Structure 1
Amino acid sequence: MNASPVTQDPDLLRRLLRAKDRMDAASHEEWPVERLAQVSGVSEAHFARSFKQAFGIPPHRYLLTRRIERAMALLRDTDLPITDIAFDTGWASLGTFGRTFRDITGESPSAVRARGKPTAHEIGRVPVCIANAARRPDLTTAVSEKRRLAAGGTNEPEQQESP
């Protein structure tokens, strides 16, 4: 049942890429699955399933990654207040931004900013695409799952011993 992206219909992949490109271009906007499915011209369930199959992560997680990636760049490269960065990157609440940012990166936005901007000689010879990939947050686990694991919870239902 799990087909690799290579075996997916090329027309479907183009449609999924169209939706992915729209999220990349406007990651600060709301992108519910319904809207993404409309962009792709497929049903919501088919879109969500196909997107995860093609790109390895669900659409919402992909969008979170893009938002955090953009926020990290703004923290590093500008002097904008953290509140402005949160709202500019699509977050409706500073608290949600801070909590999600910390859950994904392991640091608070102010800690990322405190590390300072890299000097030109530190990254001058590295191609921009490689530098961006190295700075991309690792979001292979859902944020809610990270919180549950950090709290000591598990996903497994508890097994009761039989007498």
Structure 2
Amino acid sequence: MASVPPARHLLRAKDLADARYFEPLTVADLADAAGLSRAHFSERFRRAFGESPHAYLLTRRLERAAALLRTTDRSVADICVGVGLQSIGSFTTSFTRMFGMSPTAYRAAFPPASVYARIPGCVLRIYGRPKHRTFREDGAAAPDLA
């Protein structure tokens, strides 16, 4: 059986970081996914992708946090924890360094999340119907034709 090139192992670790960024992943977890020692993995990852595994994972988390800030009304603390970070102070500092403004200022720069809310068509039809309908659907008794 032919061995898999090391780059494939690195992609496996990168895919793990992309898929499970919200979990408390460590560089050791990514190294295990790649089947390499932690030190060797960090050096190979940096050479292959141009940044450390920790920086890559933090970038994924901050990108997801930015998307949540733009499209939801969740609190900054809830978003911080939801993307796998534990310190709001570190989150705010890292977010400001990456995006040039605090998470609160970033959210304020976009339309409110209610703009993105979608109401199902069936709900719109129910509430969009006239209150007093014809054809005796409003409960009026039909006249006796006998």
Of the three residues 39, 54, 57, the one matched with 2:51 is 57
The alignment's TM-score, normalised by the length of structure 2, stands at 0.70
Match of 1:126?
none
Following superposition, the deviation at residue 117 of structure 1 comes to 3.5
- Could you tell me how far apart the structure 1 residues matched to 2:106 and 2:13 are? 30
- Could you tell me how far apart the structure 2 residues matched to 1:36 and 1:42 are? 9
Structure 1 stretches of 4+ moved >3 Å: none
- Could you tell me how far apart the structure 2 residues matched to 1:117 and 1:12 are? 44
- Could you tell me how far apart the structure 1 residues matched to 2:87 and 2:77 are? 9
Match of 1:29?
23
RMSD of equivalent CA atoms: 1.7
Match of 2:5?
11
Match of 2:84?
90
Identity %: 48
The alignment's TM-score, normalised by the length of structure 1, stands at 0.63
**Aligned pairs, number:** 110
Quick check: which has more Rg, 1 or 2?
2
- Structure 1 regions of 5+ residues with no counterpart? 1-8, 119-163
Following superposition, the deviation at residue 99 of structure 1 comes to 1.5
